[in-house]
Amino acid sequence: MKQDQLKLDQLKAELLAVALEAADRAGALLRDGRPADLGVAATKSSAVDVVTEMDLASEKLITDFLAARRPGDGVLGEEGASRAGTSGVQWVIDPIDGTVNYLYGRPDWAVSIAARKDGETLVGVVHAPVRGETFRAVLGQGAYVGDTPLRVRTAPPFEQALVGTGFGYVAERRARQAEVVGQLLPRVRDIRRAGSAAIDLCDVAAGRLDAYYERGLNLWDFAAGDLIAREAGARTGGRPGEPLSGELTVAGPPGLFEPLQSLLDDLGAWHD
């Protein structure tokens, strides 16, 4: 058993080093190589759900780097990168989380990279170059921004909670999400919408938000940030008793997570 644990710890250390280097390289490309005339290369779920040429360039840089460093690993990327792999390790990549922020020159965007094995996230890195921050976590080893340990805020009274959220890009979903916000807002301190799920989860970990929720996320949106939040002491989940999913993602400290999750379920935040 000790030998197995040693191998697992060595694997985690290797995966973290690879993730940090990949995120740093992609972040430098995105920060320093952003064209002055950056435009939309494609759209996804709607005309306002955009992909830029830099999303594609970042994903290619990351996947090429991973293929060179760990050729046996699988990959799942937001912009279409996919390979099964043979090692049992899968990389989950969001080359720019917060693409619309990036398109507009706003600072809240990040490169999000997670490494998973047997369905469990072992390593998460969220690199926000314009903010000058790199968040990281290893399963069972805590969460950090740079070398500073992260810890969630102690749960406040519900009515004093600062809650982050996000919205989808399809009009019908947005309308439903607006209804939920309208019912939640009078019950809490305030609502924040920054535009990057990965950063929102890291901000929960850093105590910059009390809690966060969103409907419609994909694995690449939350895989790294979820681990960072949990390793900083947050609870995370979907609907009561269920894991994070496209239906609902909720994160917050014990004592706030539970009533927020229950209220969001009652408000129907998990469906359009």
Task: Find out whether 55 and 61 touch, Cβ atoms under 8 Å.
Answer: no
Phi, psi of 49 (to 5 degrees): -95, 95
Q: 55 among the known binding-site residues? A: no
| Residues contacting residue 173 through CB under 8 Å, at least 6 positions apart | 167, 215, 216, 272
Name the residue with tokens 């985690």: 12
Please, is 261 exposed, middle or buried when counting C-beta atoms within 10 Å of its C-beta (0-12, 13-18, 19+)? Answer: buried
Q: How many helices (H) and strands (E) does the chain have?
A: 7, 15
Name the residue with tokens 């379920």: 265
Q: 78 among the known binding-site residues? A: yes
The single-letter code of the amino acid at 47 is A
Q: 199 among the known binding-site residues? A: no
260 vs 14: CA distance, rounded Å: 37
126 vs 231: CA distance, rounded Å: 14
Q: 97 among the known binding-site residues? A: yes
Annotated binding site for Mg(2+): 78, 94, 96-97, 221
Annotated binding site: 78, 94, 96-97, 221
